[in-house]
Structure 1
Amino acid sequence: MLREKPRQNFAGLWNISFGFFGIQIGFALQNANMSRVFQTLGSSIDDLPALWVAAPLTGLLVQPIIGHLSDRTWNRLGRRRPYFLTGAILSAIALFLMPLSPAMGAPLLFAAAMLWMLDASLNISMEPFRAFVGDMLRADQHAAGYAVQTAFIGAGAVVGSIFPWFLEHLGVSNVAADGGLPDTVRWSFWGGGLALFAAVMWTILTTHEYSPEEQAAFAGAEPEEASLQPVRALASKSYLGSALWIAAGLVVILTVDGFGLEKEVLLLGALLALYGLLSAFGIHFAKRGRTANMLSSIVGDFSGMPEVMKRLALVQFFSWSALFIMWINTTPVVTQYVFGSTDTASAAYNEGANWVNVLFTVYNGVAAVAALALLPSLSRRFGQVITHSICLTLGATGFLMFFLVRDANILLLAEIGIGIAWASILAMPYAILASNLPQAKLGIYMGLFNIFIVVPQLLVATVMGSVMQAFFPGEPIWTMLFAAILWLISAAAMLRVRTTISYGGEK
C-alpha cells in the first residue's frame, strides 16, 4: 500500500510559500515602475513595448529549462531550493543596480539589461515554487496550497507596489532635480531587493524537501516507459511541422517591411523560426534513440501535453495578454488621461505615476484577501472551472472602467474586479494542473505551462506597438478596451476545460 504525504498545517503551508512573498515584491517593483523608469530615461510611449520585451523573452527561455532541470536535481540543498537561492541572489543584485541606470553611459540600454537580468532571475526562483507546492502537499491540499501562495503573491505585490507612495509620505523626494530617478524609486528597489532575499531564505531554511525515493513511494513509481512516452512519440513525427514553424517565422519577418510594421515584430518571426529549428533537432535526436537529452525531452513533453493542460493553455494565453497590456500601459493611461500630463519631469506626471502604485497595491491586496476568503467558497459551490470564468469576467469589467472613467478614486473600484481575477489566475489553473499531472514531471509541465504566460506577453510587446501606432497613435487608453475583450474571451475559453479532480473533491 502506498504511503501518503503528511498533511501540512497552516505553518507548513506558510513556510512552503513565504518565499513567493519576496519574489512578488520584485515583480511588483518591476511591473509598477519600469515604464516610469524607461520614460524618465527618455523612452517614448511607442518604444515601451520593445523595452519590455526582455521580461517575457527571458521567461520563455528560462522556465522550461529550469523546470526540466529541477525535476532531475537532488543535492544537499534539495530539489527545488537550489534554484530558489540562485534566483534570489541574482534578483537582489539586479534590484540594487537598476536605480543606478541614470549614471551609466547608456542609461536606457543599461536599464533594459537590468530588466532582462531581473526577470530571468525572478523566473529562476518562481518556476520551481509552482512545482514545490505540488511536491510538498497531498492532492487534497493543492487548492489550499496555491491559495496560500496566491495570498503571499498579493501581499508581496502590495508591499512592492506601495513602496514609492509610502516613501513619499515619509518625506522622501518623489521628483529628481536632475531629471533622473526620484529617491522614492531608488530606495524602493534597494529595500525590495533585501526583502526578496530574506523571504526566499525563510522558505529555504524552514522546509525539508522529500527525496526522490520518498516521492516515488508517495506517488507510486511511474514506469520508465510512461516517462519516456512523449520522447518516443516525438520520434514518430515527421519534419513537416518543424518546417511549417520555420516558414511561418520567415513570413512574419518578410512582412515587417512590406506592411510597415514595428521592428520589434522581427523578434516574433525569429522566435517562430527558432522553435521550428529546435523542434527539428529534437525530432532528429529522438529518431536516433537519444531519449535522455534535454531538448528532445522538452519538445516531446510540449508536443504531448495532456488535454487539460492544452485547454488551460488557451485560457492562460488570453489572460496574460491582458495583464501585460495593463502593466505596460497603466502608467501612461493614468498620467495622461486622469492626471493630464505626459511630461515625466512634472509634478502631475509623478503624482499620477505614484497613484498607479496605489492602484496596483489595491488589486494585489484584493487578490491576497480573495485567495483565502472568496475563491475557496466559490470553488466549493461552483467548481474551479466556473469560478475562474466568473473571476475573469469581473476583471474584464475592471478594465472597461479604465476605458470609461476619468476619476482617480473611482478607478480604485475597477481594481477590485481586476484583483479578484488576478487571484484566480494565480491559483485556479495551478491547482487544477497539480492534481491532474504526473508528479515526476510537475516541474517541466509547470515550466511549459508558463510558455503560455510569456508568449502572449511577447506578442503584446512586439505587435501592440504596431497596432497602436497604426490606429491609435498617442492614445494608450484603447489598450484597456483590448484588455477587457481579451479577458472575456479567456472566460469563455475556460468553460471548455474538463478536469478529473476539482476543488473540494468534485469530479
Structure 2
Amino acid sequence: MAGVHVSTSQSSSSSSTAASYSSSFIYMDLPVIKSKLSLTKLLGLNAIVCGIEFCGSAAFCFIPPMLLKAGISEQYMSMVLGVGPLMGIFLVPIIGRSSDKCTSQFGRRRPYILLLSIVLLFSLFILLTAKYIGTVIVGGGEVGRFTTILFLVIGSVFLDFTCQVCLTPCEALLSDLSKDTDQHGKCFTVYSFMISFGGCVGYLITALDWSGSYVGTYFGTQENCIFITLIIMYIISMFLTFNTAKEIPLRDILKINSEKMSISSMKPADLGYVSDEPANEDSNHADSLEFNVTISVPFTKWSTINLTNLKQHIISTSYSMLPTVLKRLFNIPYVLRQLALANFCSWTAVMIFNLFYTDYIGQSIYKGDPNAPEDSELRNWYDEGVRMGSWGLLWHCILSAIYSTFIDRIASNLNLQKTYLIGMASFTVSLFIMLFANDIWLANICATCTGFGYATLTTVPYLLLTAYHDNSDVYFCDTHNGCIVPYRGIGADLSILDSAYFLSQVMLTGFMGYIVQHCGSVLAYIVCSSFMGLLSLFCIFNIVYEPNQMTKFLKNSKRVVK
C-alpha cells in the first residue's frame, strides 16, 4: 500500500508575485498581547460546540424515522442526508475565507456563528412544526402530506448543514483567542471533550422515554419533547459562548498595530495580510501548472516515482474547467494537502462506523430484518440489535470524552504524528477484531475502543494546523522558482479540513448503499471502515509535523523541477 501525494509547481516571476500582493488581500492575525485562558473560559468558548453536537446527535436519531414515516423511501432519504454535506463542500471555503476578512465590530467569527446558529434554530423549529403545518394549517390530504415532507426535507438539510458548517468559525475562534498564548493544545483538548460530551448527552436524551413523563404529556409526543429540549439547550449554549468570547474587531487590531509599527517599511506579509489569490489565477496557474505525482511507501527504500510526461495542454484544460472553489483547493501548501488527505481517509473510516454500526448489529449480530413486518420476530430482533448497538455508540462517546483530556499530554511526550497514528491504529485494530465478532458484548467493546480514534480526529489535525500557522514562514513557503505560494487565513485553512469531512459524507451517501447491495451483506460496512482506517495510517506517515521535513520536501521539489 502506498501513500500518493500530488504536488503542484507554479512558475512565475517575482514581479507577478508582487502584483498579486496588491490585487486582493486576506487579513491575518496580527500581534496583540493576550492573556491566558482559564479552564472556565475554555468551557464557555466551547459551550456552543457542545450544543451543536448535542443537537446533531439527538436530532438525527429521530430524523430518519420521521422521514420514513412521512412516506420518503430509504433511497431518497439517503439522498436527502447527502445534500447538507454537499452544500458544505462548496460553502465552507467561502465562509472560512470571508470570516478571515470580516471587519464587523463584533469580531471576525461571531457574526458567522450567530448567523449559522439562527439557521440551525430555524431548522429545528421547522422539524418540530412540519407535521402540524401539513395536517392542521394546510388541512391534510395529499397537499398536506406533500407539505409535511417538504418541510421535513428542508429542516433536515439545513440542520445537517449548519450542525457541521458552524464548527468551522468555532474552530477559527478558538485559534484566534489562543494565538500567542501557547494554549492551542489545551483549547482543542477541551474542544474535543465538549464534542464527545455533547454526543453523550444527545444519545442519553433520545434514550429516555419522555411519553410517560409530565413533559411528554404536556408536549404530546416524544419528538416534540426532544426538539423543544434541543432548542432550549442550544440557546443556552449559544448565550454562554457569546458571553465568554471577547473578540477584538479586525479594524481595531489594524489600528493598534499601525500605531506600534512603521507600516511604510513593512512587507505585505508583515502587515498581517497577503494575497488572497495569485494575479490572473486561471491563466497563470493553469499555464504553469505541473503535476508531480510522488508515491511514498513507509519503511522502504522506494521513495519516489515521478510522472513528468503528462501532456501540459491536458492539465491546463482540465484545470480551467474546474469551479473556482475547487481551484482554490489545489492552490494550497503541501503540508495542508497531506493533512487534508489523511483527514479525509480518517473521517471516511469513522463516519462509516458511526452511521452504520447499529444497522450492522441489528442485521449481522442479531440476524434481524429491518424490512420484516411490524411486530414480527425478525423485526423485533433487528430493533433489539439497534438498541444494543446504541449502547456501543454511547460508550464510544464516553471513552472519546475521557481520552481527549489526555491527548495534549500524549502529544507533548511523543509528537503529533505518533499521537495521530496511535488513535487511528486503535480504531483500525478494533474494526478488524469486530469483523470476527459474533457476540454483542465483544462488538460493543470494540465499538468503545473506536473512541480513541474519534477523540484523536477531533483534536490532532487542528493542533497540526495551528502549529503550521505559528511557524508559517517555514511550513507555508513552498518555493517554486523563487515564488511563494499564497498564504491564507486560519479560517480558510480550517475550511479545507472540514471540506474533507464533508466529502467523506457525500461519498458515503453515494456509494455505501451500492456497495452493500452488491456484496449482499452489511459486513461490508465494517470491511470498508477498516480498509479506510488502514489507508489513513499510510497517509498519516506522510504528514509534516517538524520543520526539517519541509527542508527535505523543498530539496526534493527543486530536484524534480530540474
TM-score (norm 1): 0.78
Name the structure 2 match of 1:482: 528
Name the structure 1 match of 2:121: 92
Name the structure 2 match of 1:388: 420
Stretch moving more, 348-357 or 155-164: 348-357
- Are residues 44 and 389 of structure 1, via their aligned partners in 2, closer, same or farther at CA, if it must alter by over 3 Å? farther
**1:99 deviation in Å?**
4.8
**1:148 deviation in Å?**
0.5
**1:423 deviation in Å?**
0.6
Tell me whether 1:303 sits opposite 2:320 in the alignment: no
Q: Check the 8 A contact 1:23/1:196 in 2, yes or no.
A: yes
- Are residues 281 and 415 of structure 1, via their aligned partners in 2, closer, same or farther at CA, if it must alter by over 3 Å? closer
Match of 1:463 among 505, 511, 514: 511
Whole-Å separation in 2 of the counterparts to 1:124 and 1:344: 38
- Are residues 398 and 30 of structure 1, via their aligned partners in 2, closer, same or farther at CA, if it must alter by over 3 Å? farther
- Listed one character per residue, the Cα deviations across residues 315-335 of structure 1 (whole Å, up to 9, x for unaligned) are 111112123323432232233
**1:228 deviation in Å?**
1.1
- Are residues 344 and 17 of structure 1, via their aligned partners in 2, closer, same or farther at CA, if it must alter by over 3 Å? farther
- Listed one character per residue, the Cα deviations across residues 462-493 of structure 1 (whole Å, up to 9, x for unaligned) are 12222222232xx2232111101111111221
**1:100 deviation in Å?**
4.8
Match of 2:45 among 10, 13, 16: 16
**1:186 deviation in Å?**
4.0
- Listed one character per residue, the Cα deviations across residues 245-299 of structure 1 (whole Å, up to 9, x for unaligned) are xxxxxxxxxxxxxxxxxxxxxxxxxxxxxxx9996587xxxxxxxxxxxx5xx56
Match of 1:167 among 209, 227, 230: 209
Match of 1:366 among 399, 411, 419: 399
**Structure with the largest fraction of helix:** 1
Whole-Å separation in 2 of the counterparts to 1:458 and 1:304: 22
Code of the residue aligned with 1:325 in structure 2: it is I
Code of the residue aligned with 2:534 in structure 1: it is L
Name the structure 2 match of 1:254: none
Name the structure 1 match of 2:461: 429
Name the structure 2 match of 1:49: 78
Name the structure 1 match of 2:275: 228
Match of 1:75 among 94, 97, 104: 104
Stretch moving more, 129-138 or 80-89: 80-89
Match of 2:188 among 146, 162, 167: 146
Stretch moving more, 95-104 or 200-209: 95-104
Code of the residue aligned with 1:370 in structure 2: it is Y
Code of the residue aligned with 2:427 in structure 1: it is G
Name the structure 2 match of 1:178: none
Which structure 2 residue ranges, 5 or more long, are not aligned?
A: 1-29, 135-144, 290-316, 473-486, 549-562
Which structure 1 residue ranges, 5 or more long, are not aligned?
A: 175-181, 242-275, 283-294, 503-507
- Listed one character per residue, the Cα deviations across residues 302-346 of structure 1 (whole Å, up to 9, x for unaligned) are 222122111111111111212332343223223323442414854
Aligned residue pairs total 445
- Are residues 225 and 96 of structure 1, via their aligned partners in 2, closer, same or farther at CA, if it must alter by over 3 Å? closer
- Are residues 401 and 183 of structure 1, via their aligned partners in 2, closer, same or farther at CA, if it must alter by over 3 Å? farther
Match of 1:450 among 486, 494, 498: 498
- Are residues 72 and 317 of structure 1, via their aligned partners in 2, closer, same or farther at CA, if it must alter by over 3 Å? same
**1:194 deviation in Å?**
2.0
Stretch moving more, 309-318 or 49-58: 49-58
Name the structure 2 match of 1:190: 228
Whole-Å separation in 1 of the counterparts to 2:173 and 2:546: 21
- Listed one character per residue, the Cα deviations across residues 108-160 of structure 1 (whole Å, up to 9, x for unaligned) are 55433322111222244221001111100035211111110111101111111
**1:45 deviation in Å?**
5.2
Q: Check the 8 A contact 2:45/2:240 in 1, yes or no.
A: no
Q: How do residues 261-300 of structure 1 correspond to structure 2 at under 5 angstroms?
A: 280=321
Name the structure 1 match of 2:307: none
Whole-Å separation in 2 of the counterparts to 1:20 and 1:467: 33
**Structure with the largest fraction of strand:** 2
**1:383 deviation in Å?**
0.7
Whole-Å separation in 1 of the counterparts to 2:273 and 2:32: 21
Q: Check the 8 A contact 1:91/1:193 in 2, yes or no.
A: no
Whole-Å separation in 1 of the counterparts to 2:238 and 2:56: 14
TM-score (norm 2): 0.71
**1:393 deviation in Å?**
1.4
Whole-Å separation in 1 of the counterparts to 2:97 and 2:155: 25
Tell me whether 1:494 sits opposite 2:523 in the alignment: no
Q: Secondary structure at the match of 1:462?
A: helix
- Are residues 20 and 36 of structure 1, via their aligned partners in 2, closer, same or farther at CA, if it must alter by over 3 Å? same
Code of the residue aligned with 1:476 in structure 2: it is V
Name the structure 1 match of 2:452: 420
Stretch moving more, 115-124 or 146-155: 115-124
Name the structure 1 match of 2:245: 207
Whole-Å separation in 2 of the counterparts to 1:64 and 1:150: 22
Code of the residue aligned with 1:392 in structure 2: it is M
Q: Check the 8 A contact 1:4/1:138 in 2, yes or no.
A: no
Tell me whether 1:122 sits opposite 2:155 in the alignment: no
Q: Secondary structure at the match of 2:332?
A: coil
- Listed one character per residue, the Cα deviations across residues 406-436 of structure 1 (whole Å, up to 9, x for unaligned) are 4334333122221111011000001110121
**1:75 deviation in Å?**
2.0
- Are residues 198 and 279 of structure 1, via their aligned partners in 2, closer, same or farther at CA, if it must alter by over 3 Å? farther
Identity in percent: 17
Whole-Å separation in 2 of the counterparts to 1:344 and 1:90: 38
- Are residues 12 and 368 of structure 1, via their aligned partners in 2, closer, same or farther at CA, if it must alter by over 3 Å? same
Whole-Å separation in 2 of the counterparts to 1:132 and 1:225: 17
Whole-Å separation in 2 of the counterparts to 1:204 and 1:2: 23
Whole-Å separation in 2 of the counterparts to 1:86 and 1:321: 28
